[in-house]
Amino acid sequence: MESYEKLVERISKLSGQGIEEVERRVEAKKAKLSGLISKEGAAQIVAAELGVNLDKERFKISELVQGMKRANFVGKVLDVSPVREFNKNGRAGKVVNLGVADGSGSIKVVLWDTNHIALIENGKIKAGDVVEVSNGSMRNNEVHLSSFSDIKISSEVIEGIIVTEKSFGAVKLKDVSAGQNLKTQALIVQVFEPRYFEVCSECGKRALEGKCAVHDGAVAKKRALLNFVLDDGTGTIRCVVFGDKLNQLGLTDEEIFSLEKFAEKKSSILGEEKIFFGNIRSNKLYNTTEFNVEQIEEINMDSLIKELEQKP
Looking at the chain, the number of H-run helices and the number of E-run strands are: 7, 14
For the cut 70, the answer to whether the pLDDT of residue 118 exceeds it is yes
| Alpha-carbon distance values, 227 to 126, 162, 178, 205, 239 (Å) | 36, 34, 18, 20, 5
Q: What is the mean pLDDT of the chain?
A: 85
Question: Percent of the chain beyond pLDDT 70?
Answer: 90
Quick one: pLDDT at residue 33? 81
pTM for the model stands at 0.57
Whole-angstrom distance between the N-terminal and C-terminal Cα of the chain? 18
pLDDT digits (tens, 9 = 90+) for 135-165: 999 887 789 999 999 999 998 887 767 776 6
Note whether 39 and 30 are within 8 A (CB): yes
Q: What is the pLDDT of residues 58-89, one digit of tens each?
A: 888 888 877 788 889 999 998 898 888 877 76
**By C-alpha distance, which of 166, 145, 146, 140 is closest to 292?**
140
The helix or strand, by DSSP H or E, that contains position 241, with its residue range, turns out to be strand 236-242
Strand partners, 86: 93
At residue 36 the predicted structure's pLDDT band, cuts being 50, 70 and 90, is low
For CA atoms 4, 19, 41, 234, give the dihedral sign: positive
CA 162 to chain centroid: 19
CA 245 to chain centre: 16
Domains and CATH numbers, the chain: 1-56 (no CATH), 58-165 (2.40.50.140), 169-310 (2.40.50.140)
* CA atoms of 108 and 110, how far apart (whole Å): 6
Please tell me the distance from the alpha carbon of residue 219 to that of residue 201, in angstroms, as a whole number: 6
How far is residue 149's CA from residue 146's CA, in Å, rounded to a whole number?
A: 5
Distance (Å, whole) CA 307 – CA 138 = 32
DSSP for 117-177, please give it: HHHHHTTSS-TT-EEEEEEEEEETTEEEE-TT-EEEE------S----SPP-EE--GGG--
